[in-house]
Amino acid sequence: MKSNLRSAMLCWRRLVGGVGLLVGLCLGGAVWVHAIQFNSEERLDLPTQNVISDSWYAAAQEMQIAGTLQYDAYIAASKIVFQGVINQDLCLLTQEGLLSGVVGGDLRAVGDVLKISTRVHESLVVVARDLRIENNAYIKEGMAVVAQKFVFTGTVLGKADILGGDIELDGSMGGDVSVRGKKLRIGPNARIDGLLTYYSGQPVVLTSGARAPRMKWINTSLDAAKENWWVSRFGKLSVDIFFGILFSLTFLLVGLLLVWLMPSFTQRFGVAVQTKFWPSLGWGLVLLIGIPLGIVLLLISILGIPLALILGLLYLGGIFLARLGVAYWVGALIFSRSQNKKPVLAFLTGYVILALLSFIPVLGFVMNWAAIVIGLGALALVKNTPLPTGPKPASVPVAPVPWEQPQPQPLPAHPAAPMTAKSLPRISPGAKVKRPVRKTGKLKAVKKRSTPVSSQRSRAKVARQSTPKILRSPKRR
């Protein structure tokens, strides 16, 4: 738990250090930041007896450091002389620097002219125009160098990666060495224990006394000729057409996957272009010009380099998606009056139209950049664009129907048949008649006995005798 907390605090300090360094560069003056105290000076000196027990962020015109820093140091200066001790990492941005002393962690430096004789306990990463690593320099781990002119006479124990123009190696190198440059010279004091791999069109200049037992030269001029033999055979126009077809197929495949997997996003994209055309054009111009400027500003700071790379990848992806979205919008505009709208068919149609227009010399160039600008702006506005809704059905006017009072219908003329003696049921003497059982409340039904009926009076008498007193109706007077 403590180690995680310490690493989190260390990352936070480095982030704040990068922000403070960038602010110091933008101000152009001298800013000395210790903890949360800010001082402004043209020249900044840190004497030998000074000990700073916190991360140190500084920017000045001229700087000389001879004291001790317990934690990381983030420094920006036009000219710097370092002779002190830093127990952790050193991040440096300078025009001219003379570095000695001791760095307990990593050393990261960007400058114009640098001379380094520092004892680095971890790795070294340097980008410079003219770089010289002196005899007293000692690098315990690895080294990565990008320089137009590079001279190495120090000692490195780990792997070394070098990219530059004129390169001279005259020191001790304990690991594998990879060199990509225009010229390579190995001096008499060079001791390379690992494998030296050299990528160049010119051979290695190996002086007497140099020791490099394992060396591999890869002639890049022959490789380029092998790679481009079919260019000379088939012609440049055929190669351009081939790569154009390959890029078009890739563009088409990605667009179809986008329309199929994210139909709502593509529909909102088309709506954003159609309903917010002028805002999309304005935002597209801002993003097309502003993002590269932001990448350049981020590259000034050491901590801003990863952010610049991420922003550059997002920028290229946005340009690619911008063209896809405009192609879908063109197709959707053509099929706007169709009842059965198919997103895949709309994208294919728009893609074919843009592809045909791109073959026209001047108009194709203008259309491609217009699609990129409008698509970038619409991509920025697509989040606040609602999904398209279908048209409402047109209301059909209905004529009012006059109300008429219903007329009474006459009854059917079927007079009731007169009751005659034949229509009445005939009861023969001596027949048995079952009378219904009457139920009231919780009284149980009484089973009646069948009694021969001879006349109306006898039937009434039998009924009164068999019915309970409660159920008997009062006698009529």
What local confidence, expressed as pLDDT, does residue 28 receive?
Answer: 36
340 pLDDT above the threshold of 80? no
What local confidence, expressed as pLDDT, does residue 29 receive?
Answer: 35
Model confidence at 446, in pLDDT bands (50, 70, 90)?
A: very low
Section 177-202 average pLDDT: 89
How far apart CA 212 and CA 199 sit, in angstroms, is: 16
Section 127-140 average pLDDT: 91
Between 416 and 199, the higher pLDDT residue: 199
> Which pTM value belongs to this model?
0.46
31 pLDDT above the threshold of 50? no
CA dist 291 → 297, 304, 313, 381, 396 (Å): 10, 14, 11, 16, 53
Candidates 332, 355, 358; CA nearest to 345 is 332
Element (H, E) at 201: none
Share of the chain above pLDDT 90, in %: 16
What local confidence, expressed as pLDDT, does residue 415 receive?
Answer: 54
- Identity (one letter) of the amino acid at 188? P
- Asked whether the beta carbons of 353 and 255 are under 8 A apart, the reply is no
What local confidence, expressed as pLDDT, does residue 256 receive?
Answer: 82
386 pLDDT above the threshold of 70? yes
Between 264 and 418, the higher pLDDT residue: 264
213 pLDDT above the threshold of 70? yes
What local confidence, expressed as pLDDT, does residue 126 receive?
Answer: 92
What local confidence, expressed as pLDDT, does residue 332 receive?
Answer: 81
What is the domain partition of the chain in residue ranges? 2-226, 235-384
Candidates 76, 78, 132, 77; CA nearest to 100 is 132
What local confidence, expressed as pLDDT, does residue 54 receive?
Answer: 83
> What integer best gives the mean pLDDT of the chain?
75
